[in-house]
Amino acid sequence: MASAVWGEESYKGKVMFIISFGCAKAATNLIVGPLADWYGRRVTLIAGMILGLPVPIVVLFAQSWSLVVVVNVLFGVSQGLIGSSLIFMMVDVFGLSAKGTAVGISECTIYSSVATVSIAAAALADAYGYRPIPFLIGALVGAIGLAASFLVTDTMDLVAAQQAAATGATLDAAHDAGFVEEVPLAEMGSIDPATSAETGLIPVSHANANANANASAIASSPTVTRAILGLATNRNFILVAVCGLVSKGQDAVIWGLAPEFLETRHGLSLAATGLIIGLYTGAWGLSQLAFGSLSDTYGRKLFLTGGMAANTVAILLFVATPDLTPWLPLRIILWSLSMVLLGIGTASIYPTMQAAAADEVEPAWRGSSLGIYRAIRDFGLAVGALSVSSVADAVGLEWSFVALAVVVGLVGASIAFGYVNRS
């Protein structure tokens, strides 16, 4: 689309929209974690929905590629707020022992939707042109999402309860869920809401207000700041963050350069290209539902190393396919298989990485720490797009995929030898 509509020809120029999006989303993830811990997940979710509304309309009427690149900054901010808020809320709901399941369900929903929309948009663009229909549909979906976000209930009361459990305290069950809730007696705003052995019955509305106040107080305490800074020396967290950065670099290449490889180099139609790339996102989205839960049972390391190994093989198969057969139908089959394998491999690591990052912290500052992980991970969009497109411009498109496969394999090996499962 960059070359067909706006005349952009260099590989680096074509992926600039991914770079602007990735940098904006990464920076937003650093901010949204503390904001979600202090003010609640619902507030940041609604803010993200609002900021995303104008993006498809601006792209619809954009007269230059530069404007598309710039507006993707706003889109990155929006997606950072929305994605992080949804992940935080799902982990809050599922609790300490099912973080992988929570992330798996969230990411399954997100990326299955992305796959469906991508395939449909490619088919519509092939039939009716790039503009206006795909972008009008995008604007409608954004409006529906904003309306739905106002119906969401915040989860900060669950955060406070989980923090009490993690620190050895307890919150008693509700005596009457409709009117009253039995909670430990402590002063409003206490850092530890459950230090008292006494309990009393108070209205549920007051209990939730206390929970929000306590969670916010914990999140802003000096102890939390020291714990978050300590992540810089946490080997597991560092390995998972690097794995996330490389996985997003992989995404940038698949979304930015794989269509160029299939359409320009090998003559596939827009619809066929959209279907093949859509298989990657679809397999990724659907498989996450299983892998997130499995990592809760069998440990994170198996699925991190296995996923990175599968991705290495898939990328090499994708780029080597033209050398394996001259017959186009067989090439399409092999490209499709490579994208399915890449999707399954990515599904193995994606929810597992976020659950592994959450394993390293306590519930009260989970939003802030996951925000740091997600910032590093999403910065990989910019790093991957810039570095691999530079390789493509310098030595050829095919070698950029080979370089990516080497990096993915090396990171997988470092996790195999350096990561330690948490009990």
Return the closest-CA partner of residue 407 out of 389, 384, 390.
384
- The CATH number of 2-154+234-418 is 1.20.1250.20
- Crossing angle of the two packed helices 270-298 and 300-324, in degrees rounded to 10: 160
Contact in structure between 44 and 84 (CB atoms under 8 Å): yes
Opening angle at CA 223, ends 221 and 225, nearest 5: 75
User: Strand pairing of 199-203 and 180-184?
Assistant: antiparallel
Contact in structure between 25 and 266 (CB atoms under 8 Å): no
Would you state the torsion angle of the CA atoms of residues 146, 27, 304, 166, taken in this order, to the nearest 10 degrees?
Answer: -80
Spell out the per-residue pLDDT of the chain, length 423, in tens: 666 677 677 888 888 999 999 999 999 998 998 899 888 999 999 999 999 999 999 999 998 999 999 999 999 999 999 999 999 899 899 887 788 888 888 888 877 777 787 778 777 887 887 788 888 888 998 999 999 999 999 998 888 888 787 766 544 443 333 333 444 433 333 334 444 444 443 343 444 444 454 445 544 555 557 767 788 899 999 999 999 999 999 999 998 899 999 998 999 988 899 899 989 988 988 888 889 889 999 999 999 999 999 999 999 999 999 999 999 999 999 999 999 999 999 999 999 998 999 898 877 777 888 889 989 999 999 999 999 999 999 999 999 999 999 999 999 999 999 999 986
Q: What is the DSSP string of 291-352?
A: HHHHHHHH-HHHHHHHHHHHHHHHHHHHHHHHHH-S-HHHHHHHHHHHHHHHHHHHHHHHHH
CA dist 392 and 421 (Å) reads: 37
Start and end residues for every CATH 1.20.1250.20 domain found in the chain:
2-154+234-418
CA dist 410 and 136 (Å) reads: 42
Contact in structure between 134 and 330 (CB atoms under 8 Å): no
Task: Note if the pTM is more than 0.85.
Answer: no
